Structure 1
Amino acid sequence: MTALGVREIHEVGAAAFAWLSAHRGDFALGEDALTADGHVDATWKPLGELAQTCASVRAHTPPSDPLHTCASDLLRFAWQQTGRGELFLRLQQSEPFATYPLEIYSVFASAGLRHPRYEAAAATTARTRGWRLTEQEPTRRLGVLKAERRSGIRRPERDAEALRRTWLGGLPEPWTFERSAGYALTHVVFHLTDWGRTPAGVPADLAAYLAHWLPPWLDTCLDAGMWDLGCELLVVAASLPRPPDHATLQHAWTRIARAQHDSGALPQQAPDSRGDARADSWDEAGADPEPDFLQCYHSTLMAAFAAAQTVKYLTGEAHEDGAEDRAAYVGGAQNRYRGQGVPG
């Protein structure tokens, strides 16, 4: 199997963006987005994830890159869906202690799209004991703290305390890695690096731990056909101060590219959970039907994000602060370990 080069990885990202653009209507907020019984996971969550991916890709690509143009266009679409921020204010009034509106809003704020009245209302709520004492999973707590800062809210709770309560922050035995731990660790790294912008945000002990164990975890996920988690791990890999060697990334991308549909959609999971074996049979048996929107939108977003982040690393281009910290480690060969840990 020939490893993919930078151009082919970029093409995976371009195909993913083509699918996302063609399906932008599926990300639109419906009439139930503000109702008490609305399904957040089917309304705000997809839109927020679209916004986060597009804001990140726009930050990691030069303006001349078509991915940058497409990401900017979709980010504008997502912002318009929120009424240019007005719907966040309405959510604040109806669900003052829900954190998801602030988490999603902070994505737009990080891209310079702001709604001052919503920020003022959110800041008032954030000063209450009720907000501070809301019980949350440690990874979510870390994300909320980052969302507050993105939105101009400052309070004394420290990130380091939340970080060390997460799975990754505790440096667990590597063989305890499984699916839920994988998603938790990727989001911890997303929060620490501001979604890949500042690799130096990963503490030295976590960076060393991930440099050692991320390659086998990535291999294990791809062997299991976990394309969605595999792409998240690829984002992490290209966001670290000490990324894996180029061959590790390129071979992983070969497997992702084979799993991608011609339309650009990437399924969350290989249909029969045999991973590569299934992908290798597509040419002979014909591709499986494209999964429905909710079954592939997130993995397709992650493919687009991971492609942009990987190309940025492999080409050595610096579009954000922190690239110098990463460059200091580039060129040192990293040991590669396989066969450790089995996703659950």
Structure 2
Amino acid sequence: MSAPAREVRDVARAALAWASGRRADFALGEDALAADGQVDRSWKPLGELAQVCATVTRHTPPGDPLHARAADLLAFAWRQTGEGELFLRLQRLEPFATYPLEVYAALAAAGFRHPAYEAATATVARTRGWRLTEQEPTRRLGVLHAEERGGIHRDEPREPALRRTWLGGLPEPWTFERSAGYALTHVVFHLTDWGRAAGGVPGDLTDYLAHWLPPWIDTCLDARMWDLACELLAVAASVPGLPGDTVPDDAWARVAAAQDASGALPEEGDAGDPAAYFAHHYHSTLMAAFAAALTAGQGVPV
């Protein structure tokens, strides 16, 4: 196994081991259905866990320990939702909220389904109120993707929403900054079904990324913006046709060096405030596993 391949696999293994060891922090609390509940501290982490693990299982063979770890975490996430029952209860409490469908879509991608929830959501999705909810273009693209994954099929094309996003408009490359970076990565994730489907990125966007993704990745690594750097590495691994030198040779070594002994990766810089350890590590650690799995699935031998 080559050194880069070992680094990729080691990053994924350590990151998933950390997530497994911290699964209690991903668990839904008693406020999961509360009107004033903190969605970003409950449903969002669980949804991110499911999203990443669904992709890891897709890009690793069943006999691989990484596959087994990710499948175990997926089963945990599904149990946290009462095997889908909590989605149905959320839908009744907040019929026009999109986040339950977005979390459900991540689990549905791995084969976990709740027919009653899908039927209830499809009913609401037929209303003008649902279709006309104002959303940022990148979020709109994500909701359209979640609808498809959640069993809601409509004729609304993705192209108009895509072309209203930052990436879809092919902006001046020097306008790249943090929020634009996260917007562009999520556009690619929605178009590629979170790295599970090739060919979803139009040719003009692929050409644009071929030119500008390398310096953006290098810039984020230099700035120690580990979370965004890993999202960009995931983009590099999920868009077919990008040059072989899109990713800096030392990118994975730098990510691995930023992980602590437990496998956690800080969002930026070093560990930061111990009191907010989970909040400042869970997303970047999952993104490290996500990018590593996609990179391995792209052809790096593991």
Short-chain TM bin: over 0.9
Q: Cα distance, 1:107 vs. partner?
A: 1.0
Once the 2 structures are TM-superposed, how far is the Cα of residue 198 of structure 1 from its aligned partner?
1.9
| 2:285 is equivalent to residue 296 of structure 1 | no
Structure 2 match to 1:306: 291
Asked whether 1:17 is paired with 2:20, we answer no
User: 1:305 & 1:103 partners in 2: Cα distance?
Assistant: 18
1:144-178 deviation line (CA, Å, top 9, x unaligned): 00110111111121101110000000000000000
User: Which whole-Å CA distance do the structure 1 matches of 2:242 and 2:172 have between them?
Assistant: 21
Q: Which residue of 2 aligns with 1:261?
A: 260
TM-score, normalised via structure 1 length:
0.84
Q: Which moved more, 1:4-13 or 1:157-166?
A: 4-13
Contact 2:88 2:116 in 1 (8 A): yes
C-alpha distance in 1, partners of 2:122/2:129? 13
2:179 corresponds to 1:150: no
Instruction: Give every structure 1 segment of 4 or more consecutive aligned residues whose post-TM-superposition deviation is greater than 3 Å.
Output: 287-291
Unpaired segments ≥5 residues, structure 1: 272-286, 318-344
- Write the distance in 2 (CA, Å) between the matches of 1:247 and 1:138: 27
Q: Contact between 1:237 and 1:244, CA under 8 Å: does it hold in 2? A: no
Q: Which residue of 1 aligns with 2:113?
A: 114
Q: Residues 53-202 of structure 1: matches in 2 within 5 Å?
A: 53-202=52-201
Distance 1:145 1:210 in 2: 23
Residue deviations 1:222-263 (CA, integer Å, cap 9, x gap): 111100000000000000112342583541111111111011
Task: Write out per-residue CA displacement over residues 321-341 of structure 1, whole angstroms, 9 at most, x where no aligned residue.
Answer: xxxxxxxxxxxxxxxxxxxxx
Which of structures 1 and 2 has the bigger CA Rg? Answer: 1
Which whole-Å CA distance do the structure 1 matches of 2:248 and 2:55 have between them? 19
C-alpha distance in 2, partners of 1:52/1:211? 26
CA contact (8 A) 2:236 2:246 kept: no
State the SS of the aligned residue for 1:201.
coil
Please list the CA deviations of residues 8-40 of structure 1 after superposition, one character each: whole Å capped at 9, or x if unmatched.
Answer: 210111011111010000000000010000000
Instruction: Give the direction of change, closer, same or farther, for the CA distance of 1:316–1:205 in structure 2 (3 Å limit).
Output: farther
Residue number in structure 2 paired with 1:251:
250
Between the aligned partners of 1:253 and 1:246, the Cα distance in structure 2 is 13
User: Displacement, 1:288?
Assistant: 7.6
Q: Which runs of 5+ in 2 are unaligned?
A: none
Q: 1:4, 1:251 within 8 Å by CA — same for their partners in 2?
A: no
For normalisation by structure 2, the TM-score amounts to 0.96
Equivalent-residue separation in structure 2 for 1:192 and 1:288 (angstroms): 34
Aligned in 2, Cα 1:105/1:169: closer, same or farther, shift over 3 Å?
A: same
Residue aligning to 1:27: 26
Conserved in 1, the CA contact under 8 Å of 2:20 and 2:73? Answer: yes
1:138 and 1:70 map into 2 onto residues whose CA distance is 34
SS in 2 for 1:170: coil
The one-letter code matched in structure 2 to 1:138 is P
Aligned residue pairs: how many? 300
Asked if the contact 2:217/2:247 (under 8 Å) is kept, the reply is: no
In structure 2, the partner of 1:241 is 240
CA contact (8 A) 2:238 2:294 kept: yes
Letter of the 1:223 partner, please give it: D
What RMSD, in angstroms, separates the aligned Cα atoms of the two structures? Answer: 1.7
Partner of 2:43: 44
Structure-2 change in CA distance of 1:249 and 1:313 (3 Å): farther
Q: 1:10 to 1:246 in 2, by over 3 A?
A: farther
Shift of 1:316: 6.8
- Aligned counterpart, 1:320: none
The answer as to whether partners of 1:234 and 1:249 remain within 8 angstroms in 2 is no
Letter in 2 for 1:114: R
What's the CA shift for 1:199? 2.4
Residue 330 of structure 1 corresponds to: none
Contact 2:231 2:291 in 1 (8 A): yes
